Every structure is written in C-alpha cells, then in structure tokens.
Amino acid sequence: MGKFLIASVTALAALIGVAGPAHAAGGGDVKLVSGEWSFAGPFGYFDKGAMQRGFQVYLEVCAGCHGVEYLAFRNLADLGYNDAEIKAIAAEYEVMDGPDDDGEMFMRPARPADMIPSPYRNDNEARANNNGALPPDLSLITKARANGADYLYSLLLGYEDAPADTEVPEGMYYNNAYSGHLIAMPQPIYGDDVEYTDGTPTTPESLAADVTHFLMWAAEPKMEARKRIGVAAVFFLSIFLIMSYMAKRRVWAELH
Amino acid sequence: MSAEKFSNPVVRWIDHRLPVFSMLDHEKYDYPVPKNLNYFWNFGVLAGLALVIMIVTGIVLAMNYTAHVDHAFSSVERIMRDVNHGWLIRYIHMNAASFFFIVVYIHIFRGLYYGSYKAPRELLWMLGVVIFLLMMATAFMGYVLPWGQMSFWGATVITNLFSAIPLVGESIVTFLWGGFSVDNPTLNRFFSLHYLMPFVIAGVVVLHIVALHRFGSNNPIGIDAKGPQDTISFHPYYTIKDMVGIAMFLLLLAVAVFFFPNAMGHPDNYIPANPMQTPAHIVPEWYFLPFYAILRAVPDKLGGVLLMFAAIFVLFILPWLDRSPVRSARFRPVFRIFFWLLFIDCIALGYLGGKPAEGVYVVLSRIATVWYFLHFLLILPLLSVFETTRPLPKSISEPVLATAKGVA
Amino acid sequence: MANTNSKPAKSATDPREVGRRDFIVVATYAMGAVGAAAVVWPLIDQMNPAADTLALASTEVDVSKIAEGQAITVTWRGKPVFIRHRTADEITRANAIDSSELRDPQEDEARVQKPELLVLVGVCTHLGCVPLGQKTGEVKGEYDGWFCPCHGSHYDTSGRIRKGPAPTNLEVPPYTFLSDAVIRIG
C-alpha cells in the first residue's frame, strides 16, 4: 500500500506542479481580495437572497452592456422565483419570433423558455457602442477567468487613482485587479447604485459580492447538485477503498 | 475437457459451442502471474479502465454535441445546463482524460524503472508507445471540440507544426484544415476522428495484451519466473489487488470531478473561439507540456518539430539503446540515479512548457531537452557497458540476498 | 515468507476457493457492482428530454384570428397541432352519428371544450404520418375531416377514425383557455 500511496501522491504532485503554474500565468502584480462565499468548499451552496439581489444588480448596473446569453428566464427558478414571478420578469422583455404567415419576423413578449436577451444584437454593435471595446458576455465569466469569484469581486472593487507614473489614456480606467491595470470598463459600482428591498446594506462590497454570487451561479448552475453527489460518491468510494484493501489482505494472507 | 469445468448447465451448453467461459477461466486461473508484483503493476488495468470510461462517456456526449462552429460551444453549454446529468458526464470525460494520461505516464515510468521494455518484450513496449501516440492525437482533437479559445488556438498552433515540413508543409496544413484556416471543416473531421480513434486504441490494446500474455508480466526483480513456485493465478490474487487500485483511482477521479472539475483545464476555454484574437498566453493541456517545452526549446521551426517527434520516437528504439541484461533498476545502482534524474527532467520540462517562452525559461528548457536526449542516446548505451550491477536473486520466491528487499 | 511450492500447501490454497466465502471479499465485489450500477443511471437518463426541451412543452396560441371554416397548424413538442374553427354544419355532422358504432367510440362533446374550436394532434394514429385536410383545397377524406395519405385513414369533422387502418381517433392534446382568445397547449 505504501508504494501505491507514493505513486498516487507523485501523480498528484506532478499534476499540481504542472497544471498549477499554467494557470497562475497572467498579470503579475494584480491584487485580489477574497470574499466570504457560501458556495466555497465541498458543502458549498448558493444563497438565494444573495442571488436575487445579485440579479437585481446585474439588471440595473451590468445589463446595459453585458448579456447572459446562456441563461433562460426559466433558469431563474434556481434563484427562488416561482412560475408567476418568472413569467412576469420574462414579460418585460421583447424577443424576436417568426416568421409569421406573411414571412415577417415580429417581436413578442418573452416567455420563460426564452433565453434572456443580450443588450446588443452582435459583437460589432457591442463594440460600436463601447469605444471599440467588447463587453464580454457574463454567463460564464467566473469560469472563464482564473480565480473566478475572487477575481470578479476584486475587479468590481479595484478601481482607484492611477499611480503617478502610469498614464491612463482617454476612455481607459485604472484597476488594481485587472491584468495590465488599464481597463475599458468604467467603474460600475459606487455604492447605493440599486435599492434593495430586503434591507441589505448597499455598500460597494455588498453589491459586488451579490452580483458575483449571481454570476457564479450563472456559470455553474449545477454546482449544488455536483457537490451533494460528490460528498456521497467520495464517502462511498472511501469505504470501497478500505473494504477492497481489507479484502486484498485477506485473500493474500492465504498465500503466505 | 472444458465442458466439465462448469456446474451451471446453461454455461456448460454455451461453453461447449462458444468457449468464452473456458477462455475467461483460462485467463483467471491458468495464466501464471509473478507473485511479487507491486502496486505499480495496477496501472495497466487502470489505463484500460480509463479507456472504457472515456469511450462510454464519449459516446453519450456525442448524442448531445453538435459539431458546427456556430453551435459547438453552446451545445456543450446545453450539456452542462439542460441535459440530464450532462454536467456530470462531461466533467467525467474531461477529468478522466487527464487521469488517463496520469495513469499512462506512471505506467510508462514503471516500465522504464523495471526494464519492462527489454527482450523478449520489445514489441509489447513498442505497441505501448503506439497507444501513447494515438492517445495524444485523440486527446488533442477532443480538446478542439468544445470550440473555446484554447480549442481553436491549440488546433491552429498544433496543425501549423506541419507547415515546418519543407516544400509540402503549407499544402499539408491546408489539407488538414480543409480550408485556409481552422474552421468548420476542421471541426467536423476532428469530431469524426475523435470518435474513431478510441476504437483504434482499443484494437492496439488487444495486441498489447496478446503480446503481454506471450511471456507474462515482468516483475519488480526483473528475472523470469522459474516455475509454479514463482507464480500465482490472476484470480483471485490480482483481481482483488487491482480492485484496490481501481478504488483509489475512482476516489481520486471523484474528488477531481466533483470538487475541482476545472482545475486541469484552462479558463480561456470557457470563452467561445474567436479567430480574430489570440489569448495572451496559450498553453496546451498539461499532459502535452513536456513536449511543448521541447518544441519551443529549439530556435528553428523545423528543428523544434523534429525534436518533439524525436522525443517520442526515441522510446521506440529504447530496447536497443539500453542493452544491459539486467532489467530491474533494483539491481542497477547507477541506472537508478539516472532514472530519477530523467523523472525530474520530465517534470521540469512539463513545468517549463507551461511558462512563457522567455528569459531563463528558454535556457532551462534547452538544458532539460538536452538532458532528455542525452539520457536515452548516450547515458543508457554507456551504462549498458560500464555499470556494475548487483547480483541477481536465484528466483522470485528465493531472494538470496538481503538487497532484494520488498519481496513480501 | 513461507514457501508455498510444496504440493500439499498448494492444494490448501486452491485459487478457486480463496475468498469465495469470505464476507469482506464478497462484500467488496458486491459494492463494486452496486457502484457500477449507480453510474449507469446518468448515462441512460441523459437520453430523456433535457430541461430546455421540457420548457418548450407548452405553446400558447391566439385562436381569435381563425375565421370560421378555417384551420391553422401550430407546432407543439415538435409535432403539428391542428386547430379548426368549425362551422355550425360541421358541428352538427359530428354530433349526428351514434358514437357507439365507431371504431373508437367517443362523443364529439368529449373532444372539445368549446364546440366551434377543435384542437387535435395532427399525427395519424396508424403510423405517425400527418393527415391532409388543413388547407382549403386539400383532400379531406370521405367524412370531410382529414385524410391520411400514407395508408388511407379517413377522419371525420371531430377527428374520429371512420375508415382505414388507424386504430384510434386523432389525439386531443391537453389545453386550457387562458382567455377567450388564447389557449395554452400542454
């Protein structure tokens, strides 16, 4: 068993040694602050209140420029909304449907099965409206960046005055969490940008944490199921490992 | 004679006409296995298990995947979000691919340490290298299918390797792409081949096993079994021992799948492919990094490509580079030191392959690359001649000397 | 380190007998089998309709614009649904016959929520073809309802099978009136 353990540990060490640095590559002196996330760890879960508030922040602060193209209205059930609420949210949007019997495309109110419409029809329109910079779609953003949740949280709170030796060009902003520090997105959150209905304070930290929570769910909506099954699977396989080792000892004992 | 072996009449009836049960019985009880195999001999079975997991999850994923540049990325997201248990199946496929390589790398290093490539197992070893090559091709094409940024740029960079071939290089690349850049025809053919290759691998695995069963497993002492006292039946001894390895493998795989599913992937592959913009720092998957480091260590394009392929080709001729009659490193004190140096060298190459190709990393890559080839082309042939090996035990069951420890 | 190469010792450890009755050995293999069986379910379940497919399982249709005597075809779950605004004559004829004489006895009243609006899944109950009779000018069969061109099934103005190989009436999908103008199918 000892040798096998060594083999396993070697394999894992090789993995971490090789895969780890491949990721850390990126900005050298970026500053990441770490949030307190309920979704972290093997028993992590999504906080419905935080997600609903985060969805509100997304709608009122981010949605003007950023889409969430892989989310459908029906997915909002995960946030704790019921069917009627989801229908009401969807009905506020118009989506294109058709062609009708005359061959024309037409707009109709969105239904729960529809995807949440993005603010721009395509990337070119998005660039044209944002000084040539493309606001990325946010539905996978926390998985598409290293240290997703912490990175996003830090980025939203990372706006500060540029150091004296850094020149910030027109249309760019200084952010201590962004690789290269010059970012085309103006500071989105100042505090009190939205009005929460549940009495949660609207400090910049609170708003940033909530929208991060929402986007973490958006990127990995099956995380709770994954971790729940994972705990059971690891428990089962641990027992299986112990049992098979005992069985192996028993079988081999008769040989010696 | 076989028919009397089974008490169940249905089994007996079938076996009389189709002797599958006799064959199974033969493998379980009559095939002699050295009694002293350690847990490193689990990794062949584990590699087979990994192949089965990949094929099964892959077939199921193919039922939900769309091989078209406009739909590939979103079809994968649909698998992750809407298909029943799709996230689980995809994460298993993703992570089992990495685990497949971990297992095979350990399997290869086990062969290197215990001299499993030596006569009469040269063809067994070479078939293994063929499997390794096929695995790399399959994994590379599989990584292209989600059509994220790393998929696209990985495909672009790797296929461009062939442009280094003089005269016909450009034509070959155009041929591989089916166009003038990596595009929809490329994705379609990669999907087709990615589905085909695992079955080719399975075929070569059968040959690998046929070759294995010709002379049986090597063992940690590296001397041949002298008779029945040195061997035991595969079942129940090695089935239950393999079960321990399988349990460990599945446990580690489960930890990765359920708690760190994206740790061995790259975040950029969650960004849809964009042919107009290369990511700042592109790296292949971790299991290609040592070869990637060798490729980049050479300042010449063609030279880098040739050297990278040579790094694998050298494994084919290994049985003729290391002529020492002693198989196991246990009795080769000097070889053993160089083995561990090679191991460290390969880990270093892997690390360097993930670093940007600049400054000290380039220098270190070159040193590591030179060492890699030096090991196989110079050190091993010299050791075959000059190394003083330790005396070998008389047989597996009679380890005459105290040096042969661990033969429990 | 005991030698097991003497004959009696070997027969004492006949590999066919080792561990066969040992609880922990049997339990380990059983556990492995249970684990393997548990993994099979996700692999099968993935073939069931996915969440996005199920979300499309209901369709809302505005039926107020269908003129009397006209019919429209809408898509529901990937299949055609026939919605016909029946004329008074068609309703009368649907009720005129004794339903007990039919192959699949059913009163017309049981097939509609409002007599003038007939909603049917437009799939022949024989082998799944789409019957003709929706558009003006199309063959409507001998009973002025629908006619399946594949094997010649005739349906009446209530969508009931009257002649031909189909075993049952055209299916009425579950639907509800959300308002006088809009129905939701599914």
Average pLDDT over residues C53-57: 83
Helix ranges (DSSP H) in chain C = 7-12, 23-45, 51-55, 88-96
Nearest to C45 among B85, B235, B243 (CB): B85
Q: Report how far residue A91's alpha carbon sits from residue A108's, in angstroms, rounded to the nearest whole number.
A: 9
User: Across chain B, what does the average pLDDT equal?
Assistant: 93
Q: Write out pLDDT tens, residues A177-236.
A: 998 899 999 999 999 999 999 999 999 999 999 999 999 999 999 999 999 999 999 999
Q: What is the mean pLDDT of residues A108-135?
A: 92
pLDDT at B80 over 70: yes
b/e C6-30 (16+ beta carbons within 10 angstroms → b)? eeeeeeebebeebbeebebbeebbe
Instruction: With beta carbons less than 8 A apart as the criterion, state whether B407 and B219 touch.
Output: no
Average pLDDT value for chain A: 88
Q: Does B301 participate in catalysis according to the annotation?
A: no
Is the predicted pLDDT of residue B408 greater than 70, yes or no?
A: no
Is any Cβ of chain C less than 8 angstroms from the Cβ of B85? yes
Residue B1 is predicted with a pLDDT of 45
* Chain C: residue whose CA lies nearest to A251: C19
Q: Is B56 on the interface with C (CB under 8 A)?
A: yes
pLDDT in tens, B294-316: 999 999 999 999 999 999 999 99
- Residues C109-167 have pLDDT tens digits of 999 999 999 999 999 999 999 999 988 888 889 998 999 999 999 999 999 999 999 99
Residue of B nearest to C17 (CA): B236
Four-residue CA torsion sign, B391, B396, B398, B402? positive
Residue in C31, C43, C44 to test binding to B, most B beta-carbons within 10 Å:
C43
Residues of chain C contacting residue A74, judged by C-beta atoms under 8 Å apart: 51, 55
What pLDDT is recorded for position A174? 94
Q: Nearest-CA neighbor of B266 among B253, B282, B280?
A: B282
3-state DSSP call for residue C12?
helix
Per the DSSP assignment, residues forming a β-bridge with B395 are B398
Best C24, C45, C52 residue to mutate vs chain A (most A CBs within 10 Å): C24
**Per-residue pLDDT tens digits for B191-250:** 999 999 999 999 999 999 999 999 999 999 999 999 888 999 999 999 999 999 999 999
Q: Which of B55-59, B109-113, C11-15 shows the lowest mean pLDDT across its residues? A: C11-15
Looking at residue B260, what DSSP letter applies?
-
Residues of chain B found within 8 Å of residue C50, distances taken between Cβ atoms? 64, 78, 82-84, 86
CA-based nearest distance B102→chain C, Å: 22
Q: Does C19 touch chain B (CB under 8 A)?
A: yes
Q: What is the pTM of this model?
A: 0.90
Task: Tell me how crowded residue B387 is: count the other CB atoms within 10 A of its CB.
Answer: 16
Residue with tokens 């055209």: C170
The minimal CB distance from B247 to the residues A227, A240, A251 is found for: A240
Q: Name the pLDDT band for B358 (thresholds 50, 70, 90).
A: confident
Candidates A15, A75, A233; nearest CB to B102: A15
User: From the candidates A87, A102, A241, A251, which should be mutated to test the interface with C, based on the most C CB atoms within 10 A?
Assistant: A251
User: How far is A28 from A30, CA to CA, in rounded Å?
Assistant: 6
Smallest CA–CA distance from B100 into chain A, residue: A11
Residue range B392-405: mean pLDDT, rounded? 69
Q: What pLDDT score does C9 carry?
A: 40
Residues of C with active-site annotation = 151
CB atoms within 10 A of CB A106: 11
Per CB-CB distance under 8 Å, the chain C contacts of B229 are 3-5
Residue B5: pLDDT band by 50, 70, 90 thresholds?
Answer: confident
For the ranges A136-150, B175-189, C19-33, which has the lowest average pLDDT?
A: C19-33
Return the DSSP state at A38. Answer: T
Cβ pair C46:B84 closer than 8 A: yes
Residue B91 has pLDDT above 60, yes or no: yes
Q: Which of B141, B172, B156 is nearest to B276 (CA)?
A: B156
Q: Which residues pair with B231 in a beta bridge?
A: B34
**Pick from B42, B248, B267: which is nearest to A146 by CB?**
B267
Of C15, C46, C48, the CB nearest to B29: C15
Residues of chain A whose beta carbon is less than 8 angstroms from a beta carbon of chain C are 72, 74, 111-113, 236-237, 239-240, 243-244, 246-247, 250-251, 254-256
d(CA B11, CA A86): 59
Distance from CA of A119 to the nearest CA of C (A): 22
Give the gap in angstroms from C-alpha A56 to the nearest C-alpha of chain B. 22
Mutant choice from A108, A243, A246 vs C, greatest count of C C-beta within 10 A = A243
CB-CB neighbors (< 8 A) of B236 in chain A: 251
Q: Is C37 on the interface with A (CB under 8 A)?
A: no
**pLDDT value at position B388?**
94
Residue from C18, C46, C53 to probe the interface with B (highest B Cβ count within 10 Å): C46
CA of C70 to nearest chain B CA: how many angstroms apart? 38
Only one residue has tokens 């309709």, namely: C49
**CB contacts < 8 Å between A and B, how many?**
145
Residue B124's SS3 state is helix
This complex has an ipTM of 0.91
Q: Cα distance from A201 to chain B (closest Cα, Å)? A: 32
B-chain residue closest to A2, CA distance: B39
State yes or no: is B213 an active-site residue.
yes
User: In this predicted model, what pLDDT tens digit does every residue of A38-86 receive, in sequence order?
Assistant: 999 999 999 999 999 999 999 999 999 999 999 999 999 999 999 999 9
**A18 to B280: CB separation less than 8 angstroms, yes or no:** no
Is B242 labeled as catalytic in the residue annotation? yes
Sign of the alpha-carbon dihedral angle for B315, B319, B321, B324: positive
Chain C segment 68-97 residues within 8 A of A by beta carbon are none
- In eight-state DSSP terms, residue C109 is G
CA-CA distance, B257 to A215, in Å (whole number)?
Answer: 21
Angle at which helices B86-114 and B239-259 cross, to 10°: 130
CATH number 2.102.10.10 is the correct assignment for the domain at C53-185: yes
Q: Please tell me which of the candidates C1, C16, C42 has its beta carbon nearest to residue B29.
A: C16
Picking from B354, A12, B88, the residue whose alpha carbon sits closest to that of residue C38 is B88
- CB contact under 8 Å between B56 and C43, yes or no, is yes
The reported pLDDT for the residue numbered C55 is: 85
Q: Is the dihedral of CA A199, A205, A207, A212 positive or negative?
A: negative
Helix or strand holding residue A49 (H, E): helix A48-57
Chain C environment of B233 (Cβ under 8 Å): 15
One of B16, B71, B85, B213 is an active-site residue; which one? B213
Could you state, in order of their start, the residue ranges of all structural domains in chain C?
14-48, 53-185
Which of B:18-37 have CB within 8 Å of C? 29
Cross-chain Cβ contact A243/C27 below 8 Å: yes
For residue C131, say if its preceding peptide bond is cis, omega within 30 degrees of 0.
no
Q: Closest by alpha carbon to B368, among B346, B338, B339, B337?
A: B346
Element of type H or E holding A106: strand A106-109
Taking an 8 Å cut-off on Cβ atoms, the answer to whether A144 and B268 are in contact is: yes
Please indicate whether, in this complex, the C-beta atoms of C19 and B240 are within 8 angstroms of each other: yes
Average pLDDT over chain C, rounded to an integer = 87
Considering only CA atoms, which of A55, A68, A76 is closest in space to residue A116?
Answer: A68
Determine how many CB atoms are found less than 10 A away from the CB of residue B161.
17
Please name the member of A22, A221, A252 whose beta carbon is closest to the beta carbon of B354.
A22
Closest CB to C24 among A111, A250, A255: A250
B120 cis-preceded (ω within 30 degrees of 0): yes
